[in-house]
């Protein structure tokens, strides 16, 4: 195994503490990092190595998927160095160059766990370090402050490091049950045969949270729910559900779906999108009293292709809702008008599993129909939970193995961004309101108006 080097910019941020370091620990515990791997954690805070390791120790113990022992943790810590430097200052990159002298790293990842405003400076600094050879660059959303800025940064980084060296991560594509959608389709004849407009009445994709904006106020008030969740995570799920050939190249198939979304000029925006803001949002200290930033978005989208023509895809996401859930539900067409439809539910988070609702004869009666449920809860079983990699763990390993098939490509990001921006602009131009909804509710009641019948309503 070639020697692995991982350089993390933004190593004192929440993402690194909560997700990256636990993921690195899990990979180490599984024996998937070379024996002499090296993690260089870069930050501007004045920490010693010992102080930094003490900080991340608590986060790893809290969030690592695998058992954390002092012995294993101390062994892991031998591979981590904290390097204090200001990555906005060109001269400071000499510190990083000196650090990597004679380390002979062959497989190098540079992880930008920072705001996009720092991408260009870091790229310019890293490219001149002679001991960081052919690095793979992992980027986190948002990929720019605007579409124009994101396009510029993408072109700059691709020109500097090579198109195939840029890994734009959407951790939702690393989630177990999203990956499972394709397996469910390709290995079950009874399901694959009904995965189209002939049998599906509607598709619902839901991503609700009970928490508010918390420490992300500054970022969130500039972006809102549409840009924070819909343009990336939820359109990613939609394209995985709707792609035409589950055995094809994932990026190409997702791009086709996005290209076939109903043209913005043909969208009846009033009956296709509802935006909301939870009560009390404007009372947050950093939020403007006149803020119209949406903390909730519900959309009704159509894919104009042969497989899905006429099938509504409902998407919703919201903060301060009544429960935390990420799930996909396919409601099938009714066999009889007076009998409830069958529903296939794929639960993604926090519960992971597959649930099927179907009809049976009411037990003990000669007639009558009752809804029955079959359940597979993957996260309920310790053996499955412990053997299932976390999203970041899976995505980092894919990058180490030069597998970018589940990372987003720029053309896909740009198409998603343009589409959602276009819908939001149309919503604004028609002077449609941002509805207020109660904290702890399912969102604004007006979102129910997007459904045309009972089978299109949210569950």
Q: Which residues are catalytic?
A: 233
d(CA 400, CA 21): 15
CB 404 within 8 A of CB 164: yes
φ, ψ of residue 75 in degrees (nearest 5):
-65, -40
Question: What's the chain look like in SS3?
Answer: CCCEEEEEECCCCHHHHHHHHHHHHHHHHCCCCCCCCEEEEEECCCCCHHHHHHHHHHHHHHHCCCCCCHHHHHHHHCCEEEEECCCCCHHHHHHHHHHCCCCCCCEEEEEECCCHHHHHHHHHHHHCCCCCCCCEEEEECCCCCCHHHHHHHHHHHHHHHCHHHEEEECHHHHCHHHHHHHHHHHHCHHHHCCCCCCCEEEEEEEEECCCCCHHHHHHHHHHHHHHHHHHHHHHHHHHHHHCCCCCCCHHHHHHHHHHCECCHHHCCHHHCEEEEEECCHHHCCCCCCCCCCCCEEEEEECECCCCCCCCCEEEEEECCECCCEEEEEEEECCCCCCCCCCEEEEEEECCCEEEEEEEEECCCCCCCEEEEEEEEECCCCHHHHHHCCCHHHHHHHHHHCCCCCCCECHHHHHHHHHHHHHHHHHHHHCCCCEEEECCCECCCHHHHHHCCCHHHCCC
Helix axes 21-29, 70-77, angle to 10 degrees: 110
Q: Let me know the angle formed at the C-alpha of 134 by 133 and 139, rounded to the nearest 5 degrees.
A: 120
d(CA 437, CA 417): 26
Contacts from 28-32 at CB under 8 Å and sequence distance 24+? 28/72, 28/75, 28/76, 28/79, 29/64, 29/66, 29/67, 29/72, 29/76, 30/66, 32/397, 32/400
């Amino acid at each position: 195994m070639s020697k692995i080097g991982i350089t993390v910019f933004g190593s004192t941020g929440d993402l690194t503490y909560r997700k990256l370091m636990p993921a690195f620990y899990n990979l180490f515990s599984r024996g998937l990092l070379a024996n002499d791997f090296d993690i260089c954690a870069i930050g501007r805070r004045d920490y010693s190595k010992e102080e930094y390791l003490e900080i991340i120790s608590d986060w790893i113990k809290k969030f690592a998927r695998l058992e954390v022992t002092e012995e294993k943790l101390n062994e892991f810590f031998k591979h981590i160095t904290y390097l204090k430097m200001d990555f906005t200052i060109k001269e400071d990159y000499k510190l990083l160059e000196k650090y990597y002298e004679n380390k002979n790293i062959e497989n190098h990842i540079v992880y930008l766990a920072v705001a996009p405003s720092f991408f260009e400076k870091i790229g310019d600094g890293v490219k001149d370090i002679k001991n960081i050879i052919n690095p793979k660059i992992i980027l986190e959303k948002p990929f720019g402050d605007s579409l124009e800025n994101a396009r510029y940064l993408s072109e700059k980084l691709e020109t500097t490091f090579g198109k195939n060296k840029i890994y734009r991560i959407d951790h939702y594509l690393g989630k177990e049950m999203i990956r499972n959608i394709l397996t469910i389709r390709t290995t079950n004849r009874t399901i694959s045969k009904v995965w189209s407009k002939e049998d599906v009445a509607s598709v619902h994709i839901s991503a609700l949270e009970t928490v508010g904006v918390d420490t992300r106020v500054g970022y969130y008030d500039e972006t809102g729910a549409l840009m924070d969740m819909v343009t990336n995570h939820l359109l990613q799920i939609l394209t995985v559900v709707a792609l035409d050939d589950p055995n094809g190249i994932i990026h190409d198939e997702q791009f086709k779906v996005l290209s076939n979304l109903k043209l913005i000029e043909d969208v009846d925006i009033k009956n296709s999108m509802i935006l909301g803001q939870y009560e009390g949002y404007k009372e947050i200290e950093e939020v403007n009293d006149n803020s119209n930033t949406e903390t909730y978005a519900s959309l009704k989208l159509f894919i104009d292709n042969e497989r899905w023509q006429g099938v509504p895809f409902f998407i919703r996401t919201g903060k301060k809702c009544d429960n935390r859930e990420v799930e996909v539900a396919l409601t099938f067409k009714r066999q009889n008008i007076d009998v409830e439809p069958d529903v296939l539910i794929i639960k993604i988070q926090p519960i992971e599993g597959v649930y099927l609702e179907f009809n049976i004869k009411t037990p003990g009666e000669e007639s009558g129909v009752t809804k029955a449920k079959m359940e597979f809860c993957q996260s309920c079983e310790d053996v499955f939970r412990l053997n299932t990699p976390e999203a970041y763990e899976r995505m980092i390993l894919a990058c180490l193995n030069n597998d970018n098939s589940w990372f987003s490509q720029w053309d896909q990001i740009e198409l998603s961004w343009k589409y959602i921006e276009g819908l939001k602009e149309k919503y604004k131009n028609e002077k449609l309101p941002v509805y207020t909804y109660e904290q702890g509710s399912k969102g604004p009641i007006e979102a129910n108006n997007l459904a045309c019948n009972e089978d299109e309503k949210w569950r």
